[in-house]
């Protein structure tokens, strides 16, 4: 069915002049409503109404559209733009090197993770299948000494680049998909600092998306310790249940005195994680395990 025939069948068409089809306004019923066949947009000339529906809006209104419309719909092209790295290598930036030292990220890690810097941000490239798929930008305040540099009122504190949302990824996935167990934290810098110490990574926040659960499901990972922040305990519990359903043994760190893992003295954190690993690696676990620090 052509557009014009669909309009005639769907609305009380009064007249057609060139490309303008006139019928009563679908919103206010006034007679001065025109639909332009070329622009595929309607317009109500009554000042108090001003209804300006697209063809899509009219189709929504009717619940069905002209067959020509459906034939014209093409799937949206998947935008796969190359991500341009911003700023410069953090290895060339003394202030950033010093600031990252206080987050436990050393010179070697800066190189390994290809961490970048600009005047206002530190950037961590997120790489999957050897390709940069996202960028985590963390605002910093260079007017402060490096130790205080992460304390900034700049908003947003975190920013990402165009393209697929950060919730689709797990940091350094090419490497961690080969592991048997993984510790997930919320913060990227914690994840980098603890990477070599206990198979640490981040899911960038306190939620495991369906996409991330799929990644885990397809990987060699068999057990996961969720070391998210204290306020995310319920979310961690919900994620653990989902992981259990796909056969991943899961345990959660719960905090008594602290708010987040990097506040826990490192030896205690390490000991707790080791204990949790041993327990989750045992032949049988029933649901998520919780360990308190």
Give residues in contact with Zn ion (CB under 5 A): 25, 27-28, 30, 44, 46, 49, 51
CB of 38 to Zn ion, least distance (A): 21
Nearest to 182 by CA among 229, 221, 227, 235: 221
CB of 4 to Zn ion, least distance (A): 21
Q: Which is nearer to Zn ion, 23 or 194 (CB)?
A: 23
CB of 56 to Zn ion, least distance (A): 18
CB of 28 to Zn ion, least distance (A): 3
- List strands edge to edge, sheet with 41-44: 13-17, 20-23, 33-36, 41-44
* Straight-line distance from the first to the last Cα atom of the chain, in angstroms, rounded to the nearest whole number: 68
Q: Which is nearer to Zn ion, 49 or 290 (CB)?
A: 49
CB of 37 to Zn ion, least distance (A): 19
Strand pairing report for 158-160 and 131-139 = antiparallel
Q: Which is nearer to Zn ion, 8 or 46 (CB)?
A: 46
Cβ atoms within 10 Å of 265's Cβ, excluding its own: 10
Nearest to 170 by CA among 115, 217, 233: 217
Q: What whole-number distance in Å separates Cα of residue 43 and Cα of residue 35?
A: 6
| Location of structure tokens 């926040």 | 205
Q: Which is nearer to Zn ion, 27 or 101 (CB)?
A: 27
Q: Which is nearer to Zn ion, 40 or 46 (CB)?
A: 46
- List strands edge to edge, sheet with 88-89: 88-89, 116-117, 121-128, 131-139, 158-160
CB of 17 to Zn ion, least distance (A): 19
Nearest to 59 by CA among 49, 48, 72: 72
């Amino acid at each position: 069915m052509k557009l014009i025939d669909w309009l005639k069948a769907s609305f009380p068409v009064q007249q057609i002049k060139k490309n303008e089809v006139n019928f009563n306004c679908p919103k206010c019923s006034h007679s001065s409503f025109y639909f332009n066949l070329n622009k595929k947009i309607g317009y109500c000339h009554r000042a108090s109404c001003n209804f300006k529906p697209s063809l899509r809006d009219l189709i929504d209104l009717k619940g069905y559209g002209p067959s020509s419309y459906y034939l014209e719909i093409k799937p949206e092209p998947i935008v796969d733009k190359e991500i341009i790295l911003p700023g410069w290598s953090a290895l060339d930036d003394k202030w950033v090197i010093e600031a990252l030292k206080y987050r436990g990220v050393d010179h070697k890690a800066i190189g390994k993770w290809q961490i970048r810097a600009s005047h206002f941000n530190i950037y961590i490239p997120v790489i999957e299948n050897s390709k940069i798929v996202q960028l985590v930008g963390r605002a910093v305040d260079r007017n402060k000494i490096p130790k205080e540099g992460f304390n900034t009122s700049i908003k947003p504190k975190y920013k990402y680049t165009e393209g697929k949302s950060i919730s689709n990824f797990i940091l350094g996935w090419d490497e961690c998909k080969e592991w048997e167990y993984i510790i997930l934290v919320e913060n990227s810098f914690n994840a980098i600092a603890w990477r070599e110490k206990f198979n640490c990574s981040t899911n960038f926040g306190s939620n495991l998306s369906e996409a991330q659960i799929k990644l885990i499901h397809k990987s060699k990972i068999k057990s996961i310790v969720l070391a998210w922040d204290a306020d995310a305990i319920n979310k961690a519990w919900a994620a653990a249940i989902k992981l259990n359903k796909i056969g991943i043994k899961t345990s959660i760190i719960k905090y008594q005195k602290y708010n987040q893992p990097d506040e826990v003295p490192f030896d205690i954190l390490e000991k707790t994680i080791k204990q949790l690993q041993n327990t989750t690696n045992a032949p049988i676990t029933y649901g998520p395990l919780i360990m308190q620090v």
